[in-house]
Amino acid sequence: MKEEEKNLYLYYLKKMGNFSCKPLSQRIAAKDLFEKFDVFFFDAFGTLYNRGGFVYPGAKAFIQKLRETGKEIRLITNAAHDEQELSEDLLKMGFLIYPHEIYSSGNFLKELVQKYSIQSAYFLGRESGKILLERSGVLIEENPQKPVIIICSTEFDSLRLRHAEEILKQSGSLLIVLNPDACAPEIDGSRSDVSGLQAYRLMNETHCAVECNGKPFPEVFERALKSVPQKSRVVMVGDTLGTDIVGASKVGISSCLVMGRNMREESFKDDCQVLGFTPDYIISGFE
């Protein structure tokens, strides 16, 4: 992980009251997870698929096998999407995951809107994210009544970024982060910044208040856990140490890191050391 990324995840850990969890990680084949668990929580981007409908080898067959053997599946995603839309996109890629099995970070926006009595906000995100604001009753405005910004993407130009900084410099400003991830893997093996990192920069520059939805914070996991039979053996499978694995540890479920996407083999030991976390299991993919 790069320095800024580590600092962001340490900031999340501090927000959650600092804790650590370092079991001895076991390297296994994905198929060996079948007999160990009844319920599979999956991260979405970087774990099952990537940009442009790219599906990681073996991922479809793995989900299919889980269905055939009666295992429970949940998608725990920081992609701030409408569940119905995401379910349809997944189906186009060949994944059958129902809307009620999807727990998205965007689900929590409504509660924050009520907590802070937000009527309008400046939005830094993609078109697909706008539906979440609409659903929560938030108007998108260039100059919102209260200095509130909602961010879920990094795809905006420097003018929009500068305007966001101006808004956040006002007193009583609030930055709501719908995707707290720092970086995401690209298909070619490189990694790019995502909205968590951009939000962290804005926070450090403007000293605004910040609210984060989604992994690694426990609410999204807790909501999903309420939907599965009690005493189930649950595992979170994801590509990101600072969100998927830390978040799973926080709520006391097992974790499995998909190596080589958002986590490089060569920095794994150091990154675990810095954050104070290791996954229970490591797989190199679904084949």
Closest distance between Mg ion and the C-beta of residue 220, in Å? 14
Site for Mg ion in 6-65 (CB under 5 A): 43, 45-46
Please identify, using beta-carbon distances, which residue of 107 and 179 lies nearer to Mg ion.
179
Phi-psi category of 205—alpha, beta or left, where left has phi over 0 and alpha has psi -120 to 50? alpha
Please identify, using beta-carbon distances, which residue of 148 and 194 lies nearer to Mg ion.
194
Closest distance between Mg ion and the C-beta of residue 43, in Å? 4
Q: Give yes or no for residue 82 binding Mg ion (CB under 5 A).
A: no
Please identify, using beta-carbon distances, which residue of 125 and 196 lies nearer to Mg ion.
196
At 225, list the tokens.
């856990």
The alpha carbon torsion through 233, 98, 251, 260 (nearest 10 deg) reads 90
Please identify, using beta-carbon distances, which residue of 136 and 239 lies nearer to Mg ion.
239
Closest distance between Mg ion and the C-beta of residue 239, in Å? 4
Please identify, using beta-carbon distances, which residue of 136 and 213 lies nearer to Mg ion.
213
Site for Mg ion in 85-144 (CB under 5 A): none
Closest distance between Mg ion and the C-beta of residue 243, in Å? 7
Please identify, using beta-carbon distances, which residue of 173 and 195 lies nearer to Mg ion.
195
| C-alpha separations of 179 from 10, 183, 198 in Å | 16, 10, 10
Q: How many CA atoms lie within 13 A of 102 on its CB side?
A: 24
3-state helix, strand, coil in the chain (%, to 5): 40, 20, 40
Which range of residues in 23-31, 59-67, 94-102, 231-239 is near Mg ion by CB under 5 A? 231-239
180 vs 3: CA distance, rounded Å: 16
Instruction: Using CB under 5 A, count the residues that bind Mg ion.
Output: 5
Residue pointed to by tokens 């926006």? 109
Please identify, using beta-carbon distances, which residue of 107 and 240 lies nearer to Mg ion.
240
- Helical H runs in 175-231? 195-206, 218-225
Closest distance between Mg ion and the C-beta of residue 184, in Å? 6
Residue pointed to by tokens 């707290």? 180
Closest distance between Mg ion and the C-beta of residue 241, in Å? 11
Spatial strand order of the sheet with 254-258 comes to 26-27, 281-283, 254-258, 234-238, 39-42, 72-77, 102-104
The answer to whether 121 and 133 are in contact (CB under 8 A) is yes
Q: Which residue from 5, 72, 239, 280 is in contact with Mg ion, where contact means CB under 5 A?
A: 239
Closest distance between Mg ion and the C-beta of residue 78, in Å? 7
16 vs 92: CA distance, rounded Å: 37
Binding site for Mg ion (CB under 5 A): 43, 45-46, 239-240
